[in-house]
Amino acid sequence: MTEELPIIDTSSIEEVKETMGDKLPRMFNYFFEDSQSYFNSIENGFNTSNIDEIINSAHSLKSSSKLIGALQLSKKAEYIESAGRRAKTESSEESFILKVENDIQIIRNILDITHKQYKKYQKENNI
């Protein structure tokens, strides 16, 4: 599913760079802070069995990741958001909470790799 997508899509970064100009480094910093915060909220939702917190945080992570070209992270967050919404509709929230644990670990790993690749991109491109 997410394996075929790049961790970061440099063409998306170039588009953002055209729009943001010299504000791109600040946008990267916001992304690093916000994505970590969204992930922490997903984990908290899991730990407290709060499916709404998982769905809302996954939605925010999906959107912000897609905006800056973090495609694998966006796709995995989209999966968790959609699965959570289905679980609420089907009244299978408890089983969703049990199933999502592995996906949360995958997001943690993708998030770490994404942050490292963005920092490498910044360094290589003097951003």
For 23-124, CATH number out of 1.10.150, 2.60.120, 1.20.120, 2.40.50 equals 1.20.120
Instruction: Quote the DSSP letter at residue 50.
Output: -
Q: At what angle do helices 101-124 and 51-68 cross, to 10 degrees?
A: 20
Considering only CA atoms, which of 25, 12, 24, 125 is closest in space to residue 70?
12
Each domain of the chain, given as residue ranges in start order, spans: 23-124
| Cβ–Cβ under 8 Å, residues 6 and 75 | no
Nearest CA among 60, 84, 63, 77 for reference residue 111: 77
What is the token pair recorded at 66?
């897609």
**Per-residue pLDDT reduced to its tens digit, 70-86:** 999 999 999 999 999 99
Q: What is the pTM of this model?
A: 0.86
Q: Is the pLDDT of residue 16 over 60?
A: yes
